[in-house]
Chains A and B, each alone.
Chain A
Amino acid sequence: EVQLVESGGGLVQPGGSLRLSCAASGFTFSSYEMNWVRQAPGKGLEWVSYISSSGSTIYYADSVKGRFTISRDNAKNSLYLQMNSLRAEDTAVYYCARVVATIHRRWGAFDIWGQGTMVTVSS
């Protein structure tokens, strides 16, 4: 079964750090580009970061640039999000999601999502 499982969420104080993990199974992880998406309580979806299959190309949302770092370990079939200088507005469920190509374009859809891990930033 194709699956993504996030872990590492929890309660952290403002200014603190947290590292999220996403374990992939059921597909050749090293062949796929990956993303992190978050959803604040009662709010919509916000794309956070992208990483290419090799890890050589990375993008971030402006809201997290300079504070968050995406990485991957293809040998361990794992995706990571290192979150530093956390703020109250970073409180959200964080999802990892696989992006796939379609007939028409390199990036066409997020077809597989994890169940999410909750991050709460509060004193």
Chain B
Amino acid sequence: AIQLTQSPSSLSASVGDRVTITCRASQGISSALAWYQQKPGKAPKLLIYDASSLESGVPSRFSGSGSGTDFTLTISSLQPEDFATYYCQQFNSYPPFTFGPGTKVDIK
């Protein structure tokens, strides 16, 4: 099964900072990757699908890039409501639809 790793596992940042999170797949998955944001006690929220397509209603400060095995989620200017944990998920071929271990973004 395809494994996903994320780096860093956590980071501290300030409002207005540019933040980049990396997700790496154990084998090539084309652009079959989604990103989610999860706040404590809440369900995950879809941000990005197909590696770089922004879900409707998601602020444009979120962007995704990558293909094959290496992917990034970028928040161009971190806002107070963006402090959360971020997960990548792969959709290459058939299930399992593996998730990455998550990256926690907290306040510096």
Contacts and interface: CB of A to CB of B under 8 A. Distances in A.
A35 to B, nearest CB: 7
A109 B34 contact: yes
Contacts of B34: 108-110
Contacts of B87: 44-45
A35 B31 contact: no
Nearest to A112: B46
Contacts of A14: none
Instruction: For chain B, give the interface size range.
Output: 20 to 34
Interface string A100-111: 001111011111
Contacts of A45: 36, 38, 44, 87, 89, 99, 102
B39 to A, nearest CB: 12
A47 B95 contact: yes
A55 interface: no
Interface string B24-60: 0000001110101010001111100110010100000
Interface centre among B36, B91, B97, B99 (most CB of A within 10 A): B97
Report whether over half of chain A's contact residues are helix, strand or loop; otherwise say mixed. Answer: strand
Interface in B77-96: 87, 89, 91, 94-96
Given A95-B43, A108-B32, A44 B50 contact: no
A116 B43 CA distance: 7
**What's the interface size class on A, roughly?**
20 to 34
A50 interface: yes
Nearest to B43: A113
B106 to A, nearest CB: 15
A44 to B, nearest CB: 5
A121 to B, nearest CB: 21
Contact of B96 (A61, A104, A110): A61
16 contacts: A44-B87, A44-B100, A44-B101, A45-B36, A45-B38, A47-B98, A59-B94, A59-B95, A95-B43, A104-B30, A108-B50, A108-B91, A109-B50, A109-B89, A110-B97, A113-B44
Interface of B: 30-32, 34, 36, 38, 42-46, 49-50, 53, 55, 87, 89, 91, 94-102
